[in-house]
Amino acid sequence: MTTMAATLRAPLWRRLVGFNLLTAIVLGVGGWYAGWFGARAIVGPSLDYFADVDYNELSVFLAYLGGVVGFLAGLGFLNYPLARLRGYPPSLREKETEGIGRYFSLCTDHKVVGIQYLWGIGLFFFIGGLNAMLIRFELLRPNHQAFPAGTYLTLVGLHGTMMMGMMTSGILGPFGNYLVPIMIGARRMAFPRIEALTFWLLMAAGAILETTIFFGGFPTGWTGYVPLANEANPGMDNYILFFALVGISMTLLGLNMIATIVTMRAPGLTWTRLPIFVWGVLSTSTLMVLAAPVLVATLSMEALDRTAQTSFFVAGAGGSNYLYENLFWVFGHPEVYILALPGFAIVLELLPVFARKPLWGYRLAVAGLLGVTLLSWLVWQHHLFVSGINGDLRPFYMLSTELISIPTGFTFVCGMMTLWRGRIRYSVPMLFCLAWFFNFLLGGLSGVFLSDVPSDVTTHGSFFSMAHFHYTIMGGLVFAFFAAIYYWVPKMTGFQLNERLGKIHFWTMFLFFNSTFMPLFAAGFLGQPRRVVTYPQGLQFLNDWVSVSAFCLGASLLLFLFNLVYSLAFAKVPAEANPWRSKSIEFQLPSPVPVHNFDRIPVFSSDPYGYGEAPAPVVAPAGAPAGRS
Amino acid sequence: MRSVTGKLALAVAGVVAAGVLIGFYVSKLTTQAGSPTYTVPVKTGGAHPVVDLTIQTVAAVGPALSPNPDWVSFLVRDASGKWRRETVWRLPAHATVHVTIYNFDGASGLRNPFLARPQGVDGNRIVVDGKPLAVLPPDEASHTFAVPQLGLIVPVAPVPDDARNQCGYAPCSLSMAHRTETFTFHTGKPGHYRWQCFVPCAAGWITGFGGPMQTIGYMDGFLDVV
């Protein structure tokens, strides 16, 4: 089969022509210019303010919208809707079974999309990390040295927005798409084309955000607060388009996950047998579907304020900047848990494997995930304690914020009890899981100071809060992300990652992560504010320590990248089908997983955490009826 | 199956490409929206040097000096008499700075009348077209030159709306309608002091604080006191 495919393979030039990334980039650039000149030619003469500023918002918006449409058309996303309009019957696009080209085009294989996400998000994660390095370089000295003050703000905004936007899909994108259908015994996602669309929208969004530097950047950080956003350069439009596209992608991703999990579970997979990772995906998806549309709507209103002279958020013209702040955080705080919950789920999924014990308190763990999902809607105004909101609101939001530590604590209890008297194997994924507990504990404890109004008044907007959320998001999500990479990438690629390099990566990352962010609690207490390019001379030692640690942290991540390239492209040590002796269904399949996942649809008879118990068949023996998925 | 040499070549090419892209990105960031430092020549040296700083304010900076020709801007005159759009100025510490502002822009008005009274300058007086003034009518102020960390606030007098021969695009010649304003201040100890205009004078933005008002190289900058 492979030989025949190889002999029938078209020459390179022929393979480059068609609906793929190359065509998408060409049409994307063309669409961009069409939008830019279209706005100037058609709309420009009718609007006075076009003459007042050289850059103008409408041109930027229409250019990028044109670019996105061209990009998606180049990938072939319009083909199917157009075919349906022409009367063709509904169909599923055939999956491409081999070749690197499928990773650079619209592919409906959920495993390909998962790997696309892994590399795509990884790319933007490293760009966000580069921006962090530049920020720390600038802060080596108390006074400005490399970047103008406005550019420093843009760097901070680019780092924060990229990380917060891209990493929302950091787990669900690669691992959710790849693993959820397999874990529930399905052969595909409910909406394969939408699944692919969510990935390519995210890639377009990332490019839009980075090109803000050609339009003066944006000064608002990742929150995009008005009235500053109303006054900002056209680079602000890139922020709006980025986050709006991310919001659309998140909404579709969440809907697809929910539909898949609810409707496509294999026989026997009851809710109480669902892997805890799938529960984490389900709760995160629920937050995405409910929160992300608020973001898209908010940014649409802001876009109208900047282009069509509406005044939703212009206080002087009947609008309210508080409206923006509230709407943003109605999205923004669930967003924090969209980042955190997949980390909870991964840690709880991996602990039983490496402790060789069943997951302790499965139902309690699920209750923890659902409790956080529910309570995350009731806390958003703790971000606005010092904004001048009605003081009577403060006690409620203070208490609701502190209440969320209870379901979060469920995760800790289940994790600790699973480890209790376990036969723990300190493999790389397990090390990252254990570090997650340490980091997230510090993040949670420091969060108490920010949820309490009296202490928040002094710590809000300082490096203390910055250190806090890096402990929860980088210490939580990113450590879990790496645990997942070391755990599942052998399954996804068929090649084992180098264990020794992995351990060096872990220890250097853990050490320098803490060395970077722990001193920032002190810097915050000493009064260093976020998003300010200068600081008092007396804080230079702390800042230099942090900067050097951050550079070492960056080097640790480069070591990971080296490990990835070395293991997958050079060493190529074949991965066993079940290197971790896991009972989860994905590890009962060959590595990498075959195109159609299962020859026969499995029938589940237990959850996947029966370590130390009599073996129970997870997959039905051959001969069971294969349903169509 | 690609050979190890081929893979290594690909990996090296990838690293080189990433390096080039990162280099381009960083160089773009170090220059974008920025302003190179202009070192103001010292007129008289010693422990208490004296410098002359000559600047102009224009309603539109023009295509010759900026990719944003319609943006309001400050310009500085160098030793050869050429006007430069650079707003980071290096000055000696503990210096006496004699400032001359040629303003070619009309009145915008102050939102905060407090800024109408010159402060932090010798005698708390400015001299407008040869006439000393302790306060400017708030509605008439065209711009301000303010360095909050030095306690310096100077309102800038406007060109009347009906003046003849008004300047369209910078650099504007002194034969065109303008106001001449002089004052003296002292730099004090070394530091990096932000200066800016506090009049929301950015046309095209909702409340006038966008674009040039928040971009180094136009209506704000730094005094790099060394």
Q: Is B145 exposed, middle or buried (0-12, 13-18, 19+ CB in 10 A)?
A: buried
Residue B219: partners with Cβ closer than 8 Å, 6 or more residues away: B72, B73, B74, B143, B196, B197, B201, B202, B212, B213
Lowest mean pLDDT: which of A34-43, A165-174, A266-275, A535-544?
A: A34-43
Q: Residue B170: which of B83, B79, B109 has the closest Cα?
A: B83
Q: Residue B92 — pLDDT band, cuts 50, 70, 90?
A: very high
- Min CA distance, A297 vs chain B (Å)? 21
| pLDDT exceeds cutoff 90 at B47 | no
**In this complex, is the C-beta atom of B26 within 8 Å of any C-beta atom belonging to chain A?**
yes
Whether B87 shows a pLDDT value over 50: the answer reads yes
Question: Hey, are the CB atoms on B213 and A569 less than 8 Å from each other?
Answer: no
Chain A residues in contact with B215 by the CB 8 A cut-off are: 150, 216, 233
Give the pLDDT band of residue A47 (cuts 50, 70, 90): low
Check if B1 contacts A (Cβ < 8 Å). no
Report yes or no: B25 at the A interface, CB cutoff 8 Å.
yes
Say if B30 is an interface residue toward chain A (CB within 8 Å): yes
Spell out which residues of chain A touch residue B213, defining contact as CB-CB under 8 Å: 231
**Percentage of chain A with pLDDT > 90?**
77
Q: Assign A377 a pLDDT band (cuts: 50, 70, 90).
A: very high
CB–CB contact B70 A233 (8 Å): no
Nearest CB to B7: which of A54, A216, A570?
Answer: A570
Residue A53 has pLDDT above 60, yes or no: no
Q: Do B34 and A147 touch (CB under 8 A)?
A: yes
Lowest mean pLDDT among A259-263, A412-416, B162-166: B162-166
Q: Name the closest residue on chain B to residue A536, using Cα atoms.
A: B191
Amino acid identity at A547: S
In angstroms, rounded to a whole number, what is the distance separating the alpha carbons of residues A143 and A100?
A: 48
Q: Identify the pLDDT of residue B131.
A: 95
Q: Which of A48, A59, A126, A147 to mutate to test the interface with B (most CBs of B within 10 A)?
A: A147
Which residue of chain B is at minimal alpha-carbon distance from A131? B26
Using an 8 Å CB-CB cutoff, list chain B residues near A312.
none
Residues on chain B touching A144 (C-beta within 8 angstroms):
192, 222
CB contact (8 A) between residue A213 and residue B28: yes
In chain B, which residues have their Cβ closer than 8 Å to the Cβ of A219?
Answer: 214
When pLDDT is averaged across residues A273-284 and rounded to a whole number, the result is: 97
Predicted ipTM > 0.85: no
8 Å CB contact of A217 and B222:
no
Q: Is the pLDDT of residue A620 over 70?
A: no
Residue of A nearest to B25 (CA): A213
Tell me which amino acid residue A533 is: V
| Chain A contact for B120 (CB, 8 A cutoff) | no
Q: Which of A52, A53, A216 sits opposite B33 (nearest CB)?
A: A216
In this predicted structure, the answer to whether residue A7 has a pLDDT above a threshold of 80 is no
Q: Do B204 and A151 touch (CB under 8 A)?
A: no
Per-residue model confidence as pLDDT tens digits over A126-154: 999 999 999 999 999 987 778 877 889 99
pLDDT of residue A202: 96
A129 and A550 Cβ atoms separated by less than 8 Å: no
| Percent of chain A scoring above 70 in pLDDT | 93
A2 falls in which pLDDT band (50, 70, 90)?
Answer: very low
Is the bond preceding A227 in cis, omega lying within 30 degrees of 0? Answer: yes
Stretch among A213-222, A490-499, A517-526, A613-622 having the lowest mean pLDDT: A613-622
Interface test with B, best of A49, A231, A236, A565 (most B CBs within 10 A): A231
Decide if pLDDT at A463 tops 80. Answer: yes
Q: Which of B31, B201, B206, B215 best probes binding to A when mutated, by most A CB atoms within 10 angstroms?
A: B206
Judged by CB atoms closer than 8 Å, whether chains meet at B191 and A151 is answered as no
Helix residue spans in chain B (DSSP H): 4-31
3-state secondary structure of A476: helix
Best A49, A50, A53 member to test B by mutation, with max B CBs in 10 Å, is A53
* Residue A571 per-residue DSSP state: I
Chain A residue with the nearest C-alpha to that of B68: A54
Q: Which chain B residue is nearest to residue A137, measuring alpha carbons?
A: B26
B206 or A617, which is more confident? B206
B28–A contact, CB cutoff 8 A: yes
What is the per-residue pLDDT for A624?
A: 43
The confidence score (pLDDT) of residue A3 equals: 44
Q: Which two tokens stand for residue A527?
A: 């009064």
By Cβ distance, the residue of B30, B68, B209 closest to A146 is B30
- Classified by CATH at the fold level, domain A110-588 comes out as Cytochrome C Oxidase; Chain A (1.20.210)
The dihedral formed by the CA atoms of A201, A205, A207 and A213, expressed in degrees to the nearest 10: 170
What pLDDT sits at residue A616?
52
A61-106 pLDDT tens trace: 999 999 999 999 999 999 999 999 999 888 876 666 677 888 999 9
Chain B: residue nearest A234 by CA?
B211
Reply yes or no on whether the pLDDT at A158 is more than 60: yes
Cβ separation B205–A227 shorter than 8 A: no
Residue type, A238: N
Query: How far is the C-alpha of B176 from the C-alpha of A324, rounded, in Å?
Result: 46
Q: Which chain A residue lies closest to B29 (C-alpha atoms)?
A: A151
What's the confidence (pLDDT) of residue A96? 65
Query: Residue A178: enclosing H or E segment and its boundaries?
Result: helix A177-183
> How sure is the predictor about A627, in pLDDT bands with cuts at 50, 70 and 90?
very low
Closest-CA residue of chain A to B208: A231
Q: Do A54 and B69 make contact, defined as CB atoms within 8 angstroms?
A: yes
- C-alpha–C-alpha distance, residues A183 and A273, integer Å: 11
Contacts of A227 in chain B (CB under 8 A): 206-207, 209
Closest-CA residue to A413 (of A463, A356, A344, A316): A344
What are phi and psi for residue B7, nearest 5 degrees?
-65, -40
Contact B30 A232 (CB under 8 A): no
Provide the pLDDT for residue A621.
43
The residue among A41 and A516 whose pLDDT is bigger is: A516
Using CB atoms, pick whichever of A130, A148, A569 lies closest to residue B33: A148
Flag if A149 and B194 touch (Cβ within 8 Å).
yes
CB contact under 8 A, B30 and A151: yes
Quote the DSSP letter at residue A96.
Answer: P
DSSP H helices in A404-498 = 405-419, 428-451, 453-459, 463-472, 479-493
Written as six digits, the tokens of A603 are 């029938």
Locate the domains of chain B by residue range: 33-225
Local confidence band at A391 (pLDDT 50, 70, 90 cut-offs): confident
Shortest CB distance from B29 goes to which of A49, A144, A151? A151
Q: Which residue among A154, A232, A569 sits closest to B210, beta carbon to beta carbon?
A: A232
Chain B nearest-CA distance from A596, in A, is: 25
Given a cut of 50, whether residue A185 has pLDDT beyond it is: yes
The architecture of the domain spanning B33-225 is: Sandwich (2.60)
In this prediction, residue A8 has a pLDDT band, given cuts at 50, 70 and 90, of low
Per-residue pLDDT, B24: 87
Q: Does B4 touch chain A (CB under 8 A)?
A: yes
pLDDT the model gives residue A623: 42
Give the H/E segment covering residue A314: none
What pLDDT does residue A628 have? 39
Nearest neighbour of A233 by CB, restricted to B25, B67, B211 = B211
Average pLDDT of chain B, as a whole number: 90
The 10s digit of each residue's pLDDT in A342-375 is: 999 999 999 999 999 999 999 999 999 999 999 9
Q: What residues of chain B lie within 8 A of the CB of A134, using their CB? A: 26, 29
A566 Cα to chain B: minimum distance (Å): 10
Nearest-CA distance from B134 to chain A in Å? 32
Task: Write out residues 47-76 of B within 8 Å (CB-CB) of A.
Answer: 67-71
Examine residue B171 and say whether the peptide bond preceding it is cis (omega within 30 degrees of 0): yes
Q: Do B207 and A149 touch (CB under 8 A)?
A: no
* Residues in B 163-222 with any Cβ partner in A closer than 8 A: 191-192, 194, 202-207, 209-211, 213-216, 222
What pLDDT score was predicted for residue B191? 86
How does pLDDT run across A551-609, given as a tens digit for each residue?
A: 999 999 999 999 999 999 999 999 999 999 999 999 999 998 998 899 899 999 988 88
Q: How does the average pLDDT of chain A come out, rounded?
A: 90
Query: Is A292 a residue whose pLDDT tops 60?
Result: yes
- Strands (E) in A259-366, as ranges, are none
Q: Where are the alpha helices (DSSP H) in B32-119?
A: none
Nearest CA in chain A to B2: A569
> Which pLDDT value is given to residue B211?
81
